[in-house]
């Protein structure tokens, strides 16, 4: 009976550690992209961290969808005739040189105004990372 105590303790400890790992949350304020099963979320807080999460566990907190709504966007490489638009960005990344976001939506890429301070409230949030 005493031989089982270390084994049971190890199993309980392993399950506790796994529970801590499964509950990690990442706020994707720097970059968000995904594959069929996983999302890759880059967060700047507290340090720049890339989180690999279940794609189904990521959503925008403002509209509870798998995209982020950005406004004031311009088509990259366009002639300017399309003007300003709103985009539902399924993938995005922050461009620190131009202080804006590059939004990838339906095969097109757009540049959208924003910075890390103002974007945080609408960035994708992933759990189960």
pLDDT tens-digit map of 17-62: 444 455 799 999 999 999 989 999 999 987 899 999 999 999 998 8
pTM: 0.77
d(CA 79, CA 40): 32
Beta strands in 4-107 (DSSP E): 26-28, 31-34, 38-43, 49-54, 58-59, 68-75, 85-89, 91-95, 100-105
């Amino acid at each position: 009976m005493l031989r089982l105590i270390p084994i049971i303790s190890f199993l309980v400890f392993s399950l506790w550690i796994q529970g801590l790992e499964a509950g990690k949350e990442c706020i994707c304020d720097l970059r968000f992209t995904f594959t069929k099963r996983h999302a890759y979320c880059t967060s700047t807080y507290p340090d720049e961290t890339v989180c690999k999460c279940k794609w189904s566990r990521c959503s925008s907190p403002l509209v509870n969808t798998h995209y982020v709504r950005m406004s004031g966007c311009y088509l990259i490489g366009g002639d300017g005739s399309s003007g300003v638009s709103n985009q539902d960005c399924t993938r995005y990344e922050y461009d620190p040189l131009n202080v804006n976001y590059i939004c990838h939506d339906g095969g097109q890429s757009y540049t959208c105004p924003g910075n890390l301070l103002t974007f945080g409230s609408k960035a994708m949030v992933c759990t189960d990372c």
